[in-house]
Structure 1
Amino acid sequence: MENNSFIFADGTDPKMIEAYKKAQETFKYFWREQSWEYRRIVPGLNLSCVKAAFSQEDPETGENTVEHMWINDIDFDGDHVKGYLINEPNTLTNIQPGDYFEIPLNEISDWLFAITPPAPTPKGLSKLFSSSSDPIPKAYGGFTIQKMRSDMSDSERQEHDEAWGLDFGDYNEIEVVHEQKEKPENLVEHPMSRNMKEDFVNFLKEYPNELTNVDENGLTLLHRETIAGNLSSVEVILEAGADRNLQTNHGKTPLDLAKQLQWEHLIPVLEN
């Protein structure tokens, strides 16, 4: 992406503020996809990043300058989105690309990931005339981007999308999970969670200590799989005897996190 692809949004626009809210409410789907991306041997995402507001106060006037910019290499503990700035600020001088930030979830302004769809297999005569160009990666999320696209003319949208090199689709139908229309069940659970269930059972049999290991945030495996919304994984972990009452450094059980992130399909399993 070129630097001019990063448009700094007007935070006073009601529709833009609504886009921020939608991004915060659906961030869990970004994190679910990102958490599986970290486990893939072959990367599946062309792009994944989160947008947040950064500010600097002018010492002379006291006025705040705000820029919305993107971070990547994302981590998430259920409360804070963590990553490294990838934009060169336009006017801010107190931060620079590569700086690390931990941002409360309710303060992010957008998220975006992109996946290249499989190329269709040519059949019959179409084999002779098929294009050799690769499919364009499809964008998911990007609520502020879609709001801005809605304000553009057709030619402006085309130019914008070409600058990003992404297929943003219809700005009135923002998708948050891969193949959302074709497979609506993906909204409930990531297909890798379902498909990897047997392998995960065998993994825990081989490495039972994974059930009790705790990271620097106080997160157990059960906490992490709950944050990612992985029902099959949560069921396997509980069946293996994990303690569902362990708390993070912020005093939260897996059930607390399921409720906080509104993973409704996990709540009954964790309450039992």
Structure 2
Amino acid sequence: MSEDKIVMYEGASPAMQAAAEQARKTFKYFWRELSWEYRRIIPGLGLAAVKVAFATDPGSEGPEVEHMWINEIQFDGDTVSGVLLNNPQWLDSISAGDPVSVPLAEIGDWMYTINGKVYGGYSIDVMRSDMSKAERDDHDQAWGLDFGKPGEVMIVPAATQEKQGFLSGLFGKKEQPIILNTADLPEHPMSENMAEKMDQGLRDEPTFTRSVDADGWTLLQRDALAGNLAPVSLLVKHGADPGALNPKGESALDLARKMGWPRIVALLEKKFH
């Protein structure tokens, strides 16, 4: 799919433009969730998709753009890639199942579901907010999902009661990680829950800290991009090279800075001083 067919619609309402901006700002939490989903043996998400606006053909009787969702998402820090979920109504050049790639700066929305509960879906929230209660009920029933209250977009599941674990031990009982900005939500629960097993695994097989995947990325780079503090901490502890570069010439620190993971940035910066 040629990227010149993928655009953001400048004629969208201010509310939709604001929704797209919020979706891009919070996309890192969507990718963090997917980074753990791809590690699960049993899938935990019912749906994980990104909305993209495709320019329709000049002279088409339809709208200037057609908004569609893609799934099977991959992300390299700049480009979001996936597969088109549905056949378009106004485009003949693409169809369901075709590969799609778009710069992160051009996505229009993201959403994932856990047990039928929707996280993300900023553009859907705008549409639902303009509906009557009866219309919202019909909309939600058609989707078969819980979108929550209009005007309240959930980014991640509500945090459970904090327990003593790897991260609290890492930073000390009295010195907890500092949230440096309001968008820096708590660590993903799987990051905490898997820390002990990962620590033992890296102790047994330290070569994993230096392994490179088929795309030329290290585990440290992948977890720094996704914002997984505990894995980053453990990989560094067991010998991962913070200065190693991916094929785009980016280190784990570069990736953490790009995505805005302040606790990972602070940890990796210490390794360079």
TM-score (norm. length: structure 2): 0.82
Counterpart AA for 2:42: V
User: How many angstroms apart in 1 are the aligned matches of 2:161 and 2:124?
Assistant: 23
User: How many angstroms apart in 2 are the aligned matches of 1:180 and 1:164?
Assistant: 26
User: Which residue does 2:190 correspond to in 1?
Assistant: 192
Q: Percent sequence identity over matched residues?
A: 47
Residues 268 and 172 of structure 1: is their aligned pair in 2 closer, same or farther, counting only changes over 3 Å? same
Counterpart contact for 1:57–1:64, Cα < 8 Å = no
User: Which residue does 2:154 correspond to in 1?
Assistant: 175
Match of 2:231 among 219, 233, 236: 233
Residues 149 and 66 of structure 1: is their aligned pair in 2 closer, same or farther, counting only changes over 3 Å? same
Residues 181 and 209 of structure 1: is their aligned pair in 2 closer, same or farther, counting only changes over 3 Å? closer
Residues 216 and 55 of structure 1: is their aligned pair in 2 closer, same or farther, counting only changes over 3 Å? farther
Residues 115 and 270 of structure 1: is their aligned pair in 2 closer, same or farther, counting only changes over 3 Å? same
Cα deviation digits, residues 123-150 of structure 1 (max 9, x gap): xxxxxxxxxxxxxx11000000001111
The alignment status of 1:92 with 2:71, answered yes or no, reads no
User: Which residue does 1:78 correspond to in 2?
Assistant: 77
The alignment status of 1:141 with 2:120, answered yes or no, reads yes
Question: How far off its partner does 1:179 sit?
Answer: 1.7
Question: How far off its partner does 1:185 sit?
Answer: 12
Counterpart AA for 2:93: N
| Counterparts of residues 9-158 of structure 1 (less than 5 Å) | 11-58=11-58, 65-116=64-115, 137-158=116-137
Counterpart AA for 1:105: L
TM-score (norm. length: structure 1): 0.83
Question: How far off its partner does 1:82 sit?
Answer: 1.3
Identify unmatched segments of 5+ residues in structure 1: 1-8, 117-136
SS in 2 for 1:187: coil
The number of equivalent residue pairs is 242
Question: How far off its partner does 1:186 sit?
Answer: 9.3
Deviation >6 Å, runs of 4+: 181-186
Counterpart AA for 2:193: N
CA RMSD across the alignment: 2.3
Question: How far off its partner does 1:215 sit?
Answer: 2.9
SS in 1 for 2:262: coil
User: How many angstroms apart in 1 are the aligned matches of 2:161 and 2:143?
Assistant: 25
Counterpart AA for 1:225: D
SS in 1 for 2:152: coil
User: How many angstroms apart in 2 are the aligned matches of 1:232 and 1:180?
Assistant: 17
Residues 216 and 40 of structure 1: is their aligned pair in 2 closer, same or farther, counting only changes over 3 Å? closer
User: Which residue does 2:142 correspond to in 1?
Assistant: 163
Question: How far off its partner does 1:47 sit?
Answer: 1.1
Question: How far off its partner does 1:57 sit?
Answer: 3.4
Higher mean displacement: 182-191 or 195-204: 182-191
The alignment status of 1:268 with 2:266, answered yes or no, reads yes
Counterpart contact for 1:10–1:16, Cα < 8 Å = no
Cα deviation digits, residues 151-185 of structure 1 (max 9, x gap): 11111111111111111001222110012597799
SS in 2 for 1:57: coil
Identify unmatched segments of 5+ residues in structure 2: 1-8, 163-181
